[in-house]
Amino acid sequence: MAAGALDARFTAALDAAQSARVTSPAKTTVQARAKAQAQDFEAVFLSSMFQEMFSGLQGEGPFGGTPGVGVWRSFLSDEFGKQMAARGGIGIAPEVYRSLIGQQEAAAGQAAKASAPAPGVRTASTH
């Protein structure tokens, strides 16, 4: 797989992970989405690692030197990455999850701070 394609996949996974910041009032829904996005990010990372690992293999077997070997190896690498991430992976997903939750909490704190009236300022509801 070309480096540009891997960069695009990482960028897409990172964008999806960062877009897990939703405005849903249900905190568990936000946490579940962040956890799923973190696991997806790890799966993409692992898939790219498997792609690199398999890239130089030649020979007999289910993915011998046939013309379609690249496509089938990419499918296999994707599934290996998904399965490994689903079973705990290598520890990337928990770190990404913590980072996403931290970013969401910081953004929520900034939004609350920005929407709060300045001290001593009277609003229509405080009259």
Residue 3: predicted pLDDT: 57
Task: Kindly report the pTM of this predicted structure.
Answer: 0.63
Q: Which residue has the tokens 């293999």?
A: 57
- Mean pLDDT, 10 residues at a time, over the chain (127 residues)? 63 64 63 93 95 78 68 88 94 93 87 73 58
Contact residues for 6 (Cβ-Cβ < 8 A; gap 6+): 48, 51
Distance in angstroms (rounded) separating the CA atoms of residues 13 and 37 = 8
For the chain, the domains span 1-19+27-53+77-84
Distance in angstroms (rounded) separating the CA atoms of residues 14 and 7 = 10
Distance in angstroms (rounded) separating the CA atoms of residues 46 and 32 = 21
- DSSP state, 27? H
Residue 35: predicted pLDDT: 93
Q: Which residue has the tokens 């900034």?
A: 110
CB 90 within 8 A of CB 42: yes
Residue 16: predicted pLDDT: 65
Residue 55: predicted pLDDT: 78
